[in-house]
Amino acid sequence: MPKTVKALLSACALLASAAHVHAQEQVLNLYSARHYATDEALYSGFTQATGIRIQRVDADDAGILARLRAEGAASPADVILLVDATRLHKGETDGLFQPIQSKLLNHAIPANLRSAPAADGGISWFGLSTRARVIVYNKVKVQKSDVATYESLGDPRNKGRLCIRSGSHPYNLSLFGAVTEHLGEQKAEAWLQGVVANLARPPKGGDTDQIKAVAAGECDIAVTNSYYLARMMRSTKPEDMAAVNKVGVVFPNQESWGTHLNIAGGAVARHSKNPANAIRFLEYLASPEAQNHFANGNNEWPAAQGVELDNPALKAMTAGKPFKSETIPISAVGANAVRVQQMLDRVGFP
């Protein structure tokens, strides 16, 4: 056989081999509302362990749900990561997720941190990390006992002292949904009216802004997700360290139903073309390795059972002791969102 023909055949074989390898490459399409740079290690860890490359689209919760609705059956999404129970419930009720069966996830994630089971026992979404909705207060001006409960946020003794972000923000919708689940709608609405009366200023900014406002004396008490405070506690910026030294933190309702926990969670997209690997990725996120990363990378509490916490800021917040968290189904909290928004409108919560 002439050398030129041999060379040509050899080149064709190499091209065919390369095309085969490319065709065999596995890709997982992820739509994520987790905008934390520390999560990059999670994704690379999954790829190293499985050989599955992650192709990611970043947006906020609302943007991801809107995109899924617009794309319909043509959506390339395999896995959806959202950062709020209300939005996870919305995605479920809009039919954007597919219920899945996973013994590993059912064993790892407590029942109250996942969706209610479908008729066939499938679960539409799973909480993968938790964040407590805590109260911070000015240590000089406020007695800790005056802010020991969520109910105290609506107590007249705290009139003009409260900073909080918009009532319609998902983090607050979930908190208010939890309070509604505990108190009932009538009492919850009266409480919300008291919260509005106690505002020191119109709601503005994010949770970090509320902490800084307490430290700056703009208000005496505020509500924040725990990981924002932990982030400031671990900061080396002098202004963050100074602010942290001025505030105390309360995990509310330790003598009653416990502190409200919101979640970041995941689901398999309704029209995933690769559901097996999508489930595999969610199972990876429930592993001890990934759960420890949620805790140490973004200062969240693990959602999976039996994972030991190793985060100095989170330990310092609770003086190294476990805190009592509420045990109501987080799916019920999400289901209250519409009622809560109607109550916010009635009481004039900005």
Q: Which residue has the tokens 């003794």?
A: 157
Same domain? For 191 and 340 the reply is yes
Quick one: pLDDT band at residue 22, thresholds 50, 70, 90? Answer: very low
pLDDT of residue 310: 80
Same domain? For 329 and 210 the reply is yes
Determine whether 43 is exposed, middle or buried from the number of CB atoms within 10 Å of its CB (0-12, 13-18, 19+): middle
pTM of the model: 0.88
Q: Which residue has the tokens 């506690």?
A: 233
Average predicted confidence (pLDDT) for the chain: 91
Residue-wise pLDDT for 122-181, tens only, equals 999 999 999 999 999 999 999 999 999 999 999 999 999 999 999 999 999 999 999 999
Same domain? For 170 and 232 the reply is yes
- Find the domain containing 153 and state its range: 132-260+324-347
pLDDT of residue 18: 38
Quick one: pLDDT band at residue 308, thresholds 50, 70, 90? Answer: confident
Same domain? For 83 and 172 the reply is no
Same domain? For 281 and 182 the reply is no
Angle between helices 288-298 and 275-285 (to 10 degrees): 60
Mean pLDDT of 334-349: 96
pLDDT of residue 41: 86
Same domain? For 293 and 244 the reply is no
Same domain? For 330 and 301 the reply is no
Q: Which DSSP category does 269 fall into?
A: B
Task: Give the CATH number for residue 270.
Answer: 3.40.190.10
Same domain? For 341 and 226 the reply is yes
Containing H/E element for 165?
Answer: none
Q: Does 43 fall in a domain?
A: yes
pLDDT of residue 36: 80
Please count the structural domains in the chain. Answer: 2
Whole-angstrom CA distances from 321 to 97, 112, 122, 258, 318 are 37, 22, 35, 14, 5
Integer Rg of the chain from CA: 23
Same domain? For 203 and 173 the reply is yes
- Percent of the chain topping pLDDT 90: 84
pLDDT of residue 29: 98
Is residue 6's pLDDT more than 60? Answer: no
Same domain? For 306 and 235 the reply is no
Same domain? For 150 and 119 the reply is no
